[in-house]
Amino acid sequence: MTRPLRLKGIAASIGVAVGPARLLGRERRRLAYKRIEDAAVSTELARFEEAVSKSREEIEVAKQELTQQHGSTYAPILDVYLLMHGDALLIDAISESIRNDGINAEWAVARVAERLRAPLLRDSSSYFRERAHDIDHVKEHLLRQLCGEHREDPSSDDPVVLVAHDLSPADAVHMLAPPTVGLVTELGAGSSHTAILARTFGVPAVVGVGALCLEIEDGEEVLVDGFAGEVGIGVSTQQREEAEARRNRFHAFLQGEHASAAVTRDGVEVTITANVELPTEIEAALESGAEGIGLYRTEFMCLDRAEPPSEDDQFEIYRAVATAMAPRNVVFRTFDWRGDKRLRAHDLGDRERLWLKTQIRAVLRASGQGSVSLMFPMVSTVDELIGAKALVEECRVELADASARSAVLPVGMMVEVPSAALLADRFAEHADFFAVGTNDLAHYTMALERGDGRASATPLDPAVLRLIANGLAAAAAADIPCSLCGDMAADPVALGLVLGLGFRSVSVPVSVVPLARAVVRNVNIEVASRVAEEALECHSAAAVRAVLADRLGERLDPLWKDPSGG
């Protein structure tokens, strides 16, 4: 393939890195699928049990390393994989396959893993797609042990950019430490556990590049652009120097932002909150200076479970989060993990209705422990919102604790489907607040599945921008709060536009809070407002981005663009 070459992927961890490629897993293993005799079943089961034990031990070691290096905040990510090593649906099913199907352990691992992941990959929910990748990672660990392979490590102490088909979180803990300076993977998403760890380690990463990354040669110079989601191959000396200068400008741009207020150049205050999914992320959110939790994803507590935790278990989690963040507000989003991601209050099955009521009661009980709000995802009709609010009141009446029954609990909704944005004025009559979710809104507006990572599903498309603006205008007319979360708020290019549209509250990943604050401090609202007006009249996302570069580029050059315009 000709050089130089630019590959497009998903920006998973911000920053710029340049270094020689270190290819992992280039030689794909060849698994021996064998039929076995009855007399060999016990031996094969023993092989599998040993592989499970060694794999679990490997992940335990990674968890200890992660805790030692970065505290306990992200260690629960690896607990998911440890739990899967005792999961009947996976581990017991593999043993049963060895016994009943008369096949060797490698074949059984691959067969059961594929059976479990196939329906998850067919699902439209990004949550379930991520769970399919979790199964893949556990499968990889088990097969590695069965085949007697060792984990690959960087071969020298010199800086390297890791290039892999995929990287499990357990391997990421070990391999994202120095000398690794960048990461490129064929698979992956910006919300994956490996992406979260890359941000934790401060390693610029681009994931979801596709099979083209197989064209990268071992030792070849690679430029990882964690802002634009691009990978440069065969970079010149000049390009390397420009990238390194850009990296230095970025670090200087963030200097001292931890203690700075999020106030624009013309004195407009902006509230920056954090998106979290782990209770242990609360400490990191406070350390980053987040002014609250704008989106607490509750699905994490359901991993590796047939049903959500009990009401009391959920209450303890919500109470601890609310207490730690007090007096800052915490917005708990109800479970967002069904195939169509809609827990409609008026058409739930008995089991799902019970699950949702259990969660609502737990949040109501926790609301007396701090400032708490409840938010429903994927609301598409006004009747759904009315039904959801009625369900909250039904749960309130059922509580034995009088203080919990009388606790104030604002109930809001995600504006993340076109119908909600188009009828935002009607929804605003019933919602206490809006949170615009740009990721799903972009995909549904552009008629793309949520798992489709094509660049055309961008919130910078004028059609999406107009829906976003409509939702914000309806909230303002009804005098209810409206925040923005999703990738658009975390994009240093787009955040200036977000402010220009009129948003004064955004929620971003914990690791992005300092960057968002730095961007806010370099934006002039008057200028940004004119940019937003012009962007709404553009005909394409490319035209919008060109407007942003022309109008806001001077102050944001240290983040995403070379001074020369390259």
Q: List active site positions.
A: 193, 485
- The span from the CA of 291 to the CA of 286, in Å, is 8
Measuring CA to CA, which residue among 439, 483, 482, 436 is closest to residue 461?
439
- The span from the CA of 141 to the CA of 90, in Å, is 13
- Residue 1, judged by CB atoms within 10 A of its CB (0-12, 13-18, 19+), counts as exposed
Do the beta carbons of residue 211 and residue 186 sit within 8 Å?
A: yes
Read off the tokens for 542: 């490319």
- The span from the CA of 459 to the CA of 495, in Å, is 11
> Residue 223 forms beta bridges with which residues?
18, 232
Read off the tokens for 396: 């309130």
Measuring CA to CA, which residue among 166, 162, 177, 175 is closest to residue 135?
166
Helix (H) or strand (E) holding 483: strand 482-485
C-alpha dihedral, 553 to 554 to 559 to 560, nearest 10°? 40
Helix, strand, coil % (nearest 5) of the chain? 50, 15, 35
Residue 49 has phi, psi (to 5 degrees) of: -60, -40
- The span from the CA of 273 to the CA of 427, in Å, is 24
Between the alpha carbon of residue 477 and those of residues 376, 403, 411, 471, the distances in Å are 21, 33, 18, 10
Do the beta carbons of residue 225 and residue 207 sit within 8 Å?
A: no
Read off the tokens for 429: 């009559």
Measured at the CA of 239, the angle between CA 14 and CA 516, to 5 degrees, comes to 20
Give 498's contacts (C-beta < 8 A, 6+ positions apart): 484, 488, 489, 506
Q: Is the peptide bond before 418 cis (omega within 30 degrees of 0)?
A: no
- Residue 387, judged by CB atoms within 10 A of its CB (0-12, 13-18, 19+), counts as middle
SS3 307: coil
